[in-house]
Structure 1
Amino acid sequence: MGSSAADRARLEEIEVEVLNLQRSIGILRAEEKQVKKRLNSRYYPVLTLPNELVSEIFLHFLPEYPRCPPMCGGLSPITLTQICRSWREIAICMTFRLHIYY
């Protein structure tokens, strides 16, 4: 068991390290805010397409019947749900048109 003086010294080291980490977190949060602001200010024309047109594009993404779409990977229908919130909502709403055969 260490002495009280050693424990106080170690506690001070820990407190200094915590303060340094809190400063680093503050800097990272500020940078994160700026990056999010830049991303949110970008214009994505594909997001202005009508949902019906996006649905048609999704259907062309899939292989024609009787071929089955892959269950995982970049060519899986699940990929469409991972692009953005809008695409996820469209893909979920059209699941009745997306056939997955086992």
Structure 2
Amino acid sequence: MKRLMICMTAALFGTAALASGPGESHKGGTAYLGNGAFTYEIFETAVEHADLEGCPAEFDPEAVFCRLTVAADMAHVFVFSYNGDQPLLAVKGYELGDGFLPF
């Protein structure tokens, strides 16, 4: 869990951000998280990732979509809602190795 928090912190603060103030959206500024939500729009721009065709079995494929990142010797599946501003719902970590994505 500690690794996951470190990776999420790095993803949020170690990359280019979107806005320089609430309501603004230009490159090189700070992305303010409305209502504390990390949305797919922010993730898409700021975090290097790969799109996944599916998500881990525990998530409803009709309700969510997933993206993959690799950091700190771990693979991380970011799970986003299709609803509203597409907020981040979960992050699931996997040890890197043969067949590390079991879905």
TM-score, with structure 1 as normaliser:
0.26
Select the structure that is richer in strand.
2
Select the structure that is richer in helix.
1
Return the index of the structure with the highest Cα Rg. Answer: 1
